Structure 1
């Protein structure tokens, strides 16, 4: 399995959550490609940690739909699956809609300023064709409402479904279609500032459903794995 050449890049005190994030990010950014086998010795050498937290992280990644495991045989990076991604998209759209609806009445100018700043960074990243920066800024934008709504169940569900969608968003933010998200972000901020929680929530839902055309163009498989 081709993995980054540097070894021991993660501190040996790494816990399973850190292993999960490292592997998740490598799958999302394409370092670990769809269909690639994930062998324990390679992962141990790359991350510089023991097998136990890696296996725990892989089990969590399987729950998120990012890897597939045949016990005693192999673990691979999941191919992109349109049906599963659509399911994740619908759940994410519903959760972000709920987060915004609950957050708007609680938002101060501080939160609105944070959203505007994140969207400025998002636009700048798109102009620079910097997909990683665009994803980070998009995360920062949506995180404001998720944090402000103070509903831990929303965060828990989003942590489950968002990693799969990030693989699709990388495709979107690498193209001109990503520019539409910035306009919808502006609309969410304007409606939130006006105290219109319902309209802001529905716009948040619309924003996440705009991934649909990208799903249709990925060429991914359309059968459950």
Structure 2
């Protein structure tokens, strides 16, 4: 038996699964895969020119994030649009976690963190002013970077793990919440007030402004969901 060959096979399979995962995420972001759309493993394997194994592995990873769901005897499909109740529950969870992250991150903030947060806000604004019809992707990417920077800067591995556990559902909300970027102006302004608290070195204000931001997202998302339906 060739030494190391099983490891190489596993590594190669993992690379393929990672590639498939990345390709599917891109398809979610650019709208080629829409909410509640069936996902045919055979068709995906043909489109991506891989075997079914990395497709199944990538779909299993996506299932754990909430971006895809699997039903017995029916296979995989893209997660459906959020209901109003689901949006409220998700925002409740974020409101428990993210203001605390903001408080802790601000208490141990640095000029570098402030600058990096500012870059995300600049990128949010630029993604809208330079919109070419595909601007939703850079907008959500910049929004995610802002919240992730705060979570990582909080300096608590368990709070970060909790944030990461919510990550797939937050991505699902962003991609399939039915609201697009209709609240962009408000979100950019709210990110700005959080940043000002970081600049002032005021953890209590950072916590309060993050709470206000999550509450604002909740209110706008529920209203937009009702209008979309």
TM-score normalised per structure 1: 0.79
The alignment partner of 1:210 has SS state of helix
Q: Match for residue 119 of structure 2?
A: 117
Q: Match for residue 7 of structure 1?
A: none
CA RMSD in angstroms, aligned pairs only: 2.7
Q: Give the counterpart of 2:193 among 172, 187, 190.
A: 187
Q: Match for residue 157 of structure 1?
A: 165
Cα distance in 2 between the residues matched to 1:14 and 1:199: 44
Cα distance in 1 between the residues matched to 2:210 and 2:176: 18
Pick the structure with greater CA Rg. Answer: 2
Cα distance in 2 between the residues matched to 1:53 and 1:31: 20
More helix by share: 2
Q: Match for residue 216 of structure 1?
A: 223
Contact 2:20 2:55 in 1 (8 A): yes
Cα distance in 2 between the residues matched to 1:41 and 1:220: 37
TM-score normalised per structure 2: 0.78
Question: Where does 1:63-102 land on structure 2 (aligned, <5 Å)?
Answer: 63-82=64-83, 83-102=85-104
Shift of 1:119: 0.6
Contact 1:126 1:179 in 2 (8 A): no
Q: Match for residue 27 of structure 1?
A: 28
Question: Where does 1:42-81 land on structure 2 (aligned, <5 Å)?
Answer: 42-81=43-82
Contact 1:28 1:167 in 2 (8 A): yes
Q: Give the counterpart of 1:142 among 126, 142, 147.
A: 147
Matched, 1:205 2:206: no
Q: How many residues of Structure 1 are paired with residues of Structure 2 in the alignment?
A: 210
Shift of 1:77: 1.5
Q: Which ranges of structure 2 fall in alignment gaps of 5 or more residues? A: 1-11
Cα distance in 2 between the residues matched to 1:170 and 1:132: 15
Q: Which ranges of structure 1 fall in alignment gaps of 5 or more residues? A: 1-10
The alignment partner of 1:165 has SS state of helix
Cα distance in 2 between the residues matched to 1:27 and 1:161: 13
